[in-house]
Amino acid sequence: MEMRPIYLDYQATTPCDPRVLKEMLPYFTEEFGNPHSRSHAYGWRAEEAVEAARAQVAHLIHADPREVIFTSGATESNNLALKGVAHFYKDKKDHIVTCLTEHKCVLDSCRHLEQEGFKITYLPVSANGIIDLDQLKEALTDRTSLVSIMAVNNEIGVIQPLAEIGKICRARGVLFHTDAAQAVGKIPMDVESMNIDLLSLTAHKIYGPKGVGGLYVRRKPRVRLVSLIDGGGQERGMRSGTLSPPLCVGFGKACAIAGEEMAAESTRLEALRDRFYQMITEELEEVYVNGDFKQRIPGNLNISFAHVEGEGLLMGVKELALSSGSACTSASLEPSYVLRALGVEEEMAHTSLRIGFGRFTTQDEVEQAARNIIKEVKRLRDMSPLWEMSRQGIDIKSIQWAEH
């Protein structure tokens, strides 16, 4: 029988929790009304379910349900937040501040806005992956409409100082958007205390279904958006299209579970992560954790293994489902732009693995995975002349490679 690979890619996506599935299924079958049909009970029941789910989502981030709109996922939410705010406020303000390690959908939206004539400041990050608040303050101008800084990085798991960023933005009258797809359900998020004006989230990163996400849009003081998808005027005119009751219900349930279990789950994942890291560092030298070790979510490690060929390593641990970076960009062989932004050298960036732990990860799996990785890294290093040279104390960067 074929072994199921050990799943260690919880930042790419998470399996749907059986409790979520159970809650969703009736809405795929018996409760099939269109939630926007106001003329009959099928529609009302579907709408009720959608509204209950909206309340569950809102509760997790300390928002009012009326402030949450449903979208198809975090990519759409981020596009809507950035383009929507930029276009609405463009007459008075045409400047946006973001950072180099954002998810591709934020960076791509920004590039597109740049082509339209908006000015974008891409803040650098420190070696630990965290932005410098003084640089943020300096970047803000009277023309700045929006600061978009992700809550938790999808590759290296570091947590940005959201409350501080929110405070700075509020003081300057600049809107603060955060892509919290990797943060919600993993660390406490509070749009009030953190002064967040817009927040993107998605179901499939928190054990909910794929195909649904949300955008928090503050009502007081009110944040206005130009919509991306127009039509029937659903979601308070900010996002048209028929909502999917089963997907919304699943998202709501996923949020409810995440809220209840976050504290205990964090402790458990931290222990698993520490166990994994301990096993790796006991056996292997020249292993580097990318991103701040402390200020990160418990379910993520991003590790570079010096003098190992990255693709070879990935191929060598095929029984583990993990990746070298973001799923969206993982098909390309380019080193991660996130790691490059941290100042990680190209060779080192090539040898990194993103290891994600989650709700269904067991201690056995973690230990098995660590053993496999240790074995494979040792094997590759044994074959590597670079490793041998570095063992002999030769500084590899000093070598003048002959052109050929």
Closest CA to 71 of 185, 178, 200, 222: 200
233 lies in the site for other proteins, by CB under 8 A: yes
Q: How far is the CB of 336 from other proteins (least distance, A)?
A: 13
Specify the stretch interacting with other proteins by CB under 8 A; choose among 55-63, 74-82, 182-190, 296-304. 74-82
Nearer to other proteins among residue 20 and residue 136 (C-beta): 20
Nearer to other proteins among residue 140 and residue 341 (C-beta): 341
- Per-residue binding letters, 2-41, with other proteins (x by CB under 8 A): ---x-x-x--xxxxx----x---x--xx--xxx-xxxxxx
Specify the stretch interacting with other proteins by CB under 8 A; choose among 125-133, 189-197, 294-302, 313-321. 313-321
State which of positions 98-157 bind other proteins (CB under 8 A): 103-106, 108-109, 112
Distance CA 75, CA 88 (A): 19
212 lies in the site for other proteins, by CB under 8 A: yes
Q: How far is the CB of 70 from other proteins (least distance, A)?
A: 10
State which of positions 180-209 bind other proteins (CB under 8 A): 202, 204, 209
How many amino acids of this chain bind other proteins (CB under 8 A)? 75
263 lies in the site for other proteins, by CB under 8 A: no
Among 166, 245, 291, 299, binds other proteins (CB under 8 A): 245
66 lies in the site for other proteins, by CB under 8 A: yes
Nearer to other proteins among residue 328 and residue 386 (C-beta): 328
* Angle, helices 41-60/245-283, rounded to nearest 10 degrees: 30
Closest CA to 20 of 180, 187, 257, 243: 257
Q: What's the token pair of residue 391? A: 């063992």
DSSP string, 110-178: HHHHHHTT-EEEEE-B-TTS-B-HHHHHHH--TTEEEEE--SB-TTT-BBP-HHHHHHHHHHHT-EEEE
Q: What's the token pair of residue 342? A: 């941290």
DSSP structure class, residue 222: T
State which of positions 325-344 bind other proteins (CB under 8 A): 326-331
Residues 6+ apart with CB under 8 A from 99: 122, 123, 124, 125, 131, 149, 150
State which of positions 36-65 bind other proteins (CB under 8 A): 36-43
Closest CA to 307 of 327, 293, 287: 287
Among 193, 242, 267, 278, binds other proteins (CB under 8 A): 242
State which of positions 337-396 bind other proteins (CB under 8 A): none
- For residue 259, the tally of other CB atoms under 10 A from its CB is 18
Distance CA 385, CA 191 (A): 52
Nearer to other proteins among residue 288 and residue 360 (C-beta): 360
The greatest distance separating any two alpha carbons of the chain, rounded to the nearest whole angstrom, comes to: 79
Specify the stretch interacting with other proteins by CB under 8 A; choose among 140-148, 237-245, 268-276, 376-384. 237-245
- Residue 23, φ and ψ in degrees, nearest 5: -70, -35
* 248 is annotated as an active-site residue: no
- Residue 302, φ and ψ in degrees, nearest 5: -125, 115
Nearer to other proteins among residue 65 and residue 188 (C-beta): 65
By the 8 A CB rule, do 115 and 255 touch? no
Active-site residue, selected from the candidate residues 16, 105, 255, 328: 328
323 lies in the site for other proteins, by CB under 8 A: yes
- Report the catalytic residues: 328
